[in-house]
Amino acid sequence: MVINELLAPAQPITWLPWAVQYFFLIGLAYGALWLGAFDLWRKAPDPRLQTLAAVLMVVAGLVAPIALTADLHQPARAWHFYAQTRFGSVMWYGAYLLPLFSLLSMLLGWLLLRPNLARRGEEHDRVAALARLLCLGHWPGDPWLKPLALMAALSGLSIALYTGLETMAVAARPLWHSPWLPWLLALSALLAAQSALLLLNRLLAGWQQRTEAGLLRQIRPTLALLVLSLLGWALFGGASAAEASALYRLDPSWRLAAHWLLLTLGLLGLLLLAGHRLSPRLQTWGLGLLALHLVWGLRWLVLIQGQLVPKYGAGVYLYEIAWGPAGVLGILGTFGLLLALLVELSELVRAPALPSVTHSSATQAATTHSAREAL
């Protein structure tokens, strides 16, 4: 019997956890933009939903490009995209599509938040002065909302396609090289945005039952469609599904990550089925956190675990996440920046303080207290 031993030297992964953060955060940004823009055309728009969507699209849209720049390994080389023409490169197109999306999403978010900024500006503190300054005068912004929302939504669609295609374009990785991938990334991004808005409705002052009920109605079909899409990919995904199946059999770390995501998906299903037996607060927090974890974990499984298979070679690589900026610290720092911007922006758009002299103001204060109790 002849034994042939194959030696495959381990190679460092190219896309670091920064890329996972970018794919997750940019998905939150364009998902929130789609939800906020769509609400403008509804017969009964929800101002609370529009405010939350604006907050999320602004903060996530600011942090996502930072994570992408960090993943370039040499951030100063970003100007190379503009100094050369590469019509065959998906990333070259993204170098133009991403700044355009950032500009349009910031403008739309600002227009949606102007009424809140104006109300915040009625107070007499330094934050109110900044809110008045950010309003840029007293002029009606409503006529600009729908045209800008349409352009921003189309720009968000271009980013969803770009982020999916830049991964799908890597033909040497069968797991990525599948038309199912852009669809799965976009659909899961929409689920993440709905879940994040569900949590923000609880976190930010002014909780609305109508907003929560509407988001819960949206999450159910989105999650069901995501499950059906994953089943479709597993059955008809061709080489991509076959690669995932091989990784499941051969790589213990991939198997562990897949089991973890399946467990998360199962818990989400149980929460939706048994939601009427749970308190609304528990269901909201459980659904929101589990769905965000599922979407982030899906990106980790595809982007990081997917790189553990050599493009040209045998076996699988071993990956140990670093504790520094290229690993755990980078992940925590990105989420920390997101939370810091969220806190700052929420202070700018919060409702003015209620007076405490009249009976009506006492009633309003009690209502506000009840809303805060929902947390």
Name all domains of the chain by residue range, CATH numbers in brackets: 17-311+325-350 (1.20.1630.10)
Residue-level pLDDT at 152: 95
Residue-level pLDDT at 60: 95
Q: Nearest CA to 302 among 167, 158, 160?
A: 167
Residue-level pLDDT at 371: 42
Where the chain has pLDDT below 50, the residues are 352-375
* Identity of the amino acid at 53: A
Q: Is 362 left (phi over 0), alpha (psi -120 to 50) or beta?
A: alpha
Q: pTM of the entire structure? A: 0.88
Rounded to whole angstroms, the Cα distance separating 254 from 308 reads 9
Q: Contact 272/224 with Cβ under 8 angstroms?
A: no
Residue-level pLDDT at 2: 77
Rounded to whole angstroms, the Cα distance separating 13 from 86 reads 24
Rounded to whole angstroms, the Cα distance separating 17 from 178 reads 22
Per DSSP, which regions of the chain are E strands?
Answer: none
Question: Which residues are within 8 A (CB) of 338 and not within 5 positions of it... i.e. 6 or more apart?
Answer: 25, 59, 60, 63
* Identity of the amino acid at 350: R
Rounded to whole angstroms, the Cα distance separating 356 from 116 reads 21
Which single residue is written with the structure tokens 């769905």?
Answer: 291
How many other CB atoms are found less than 10 A from the CB of residue 39?
A: 19
DSSP assignment, residue 13? -
DSSP assignment, residue 75? G
Rounded to whole angstroms, the Cα distance separating 116 from 154 reads 26
Residue-level pLDDT at 106: 94
Residue-level pLDDT at 368: 45
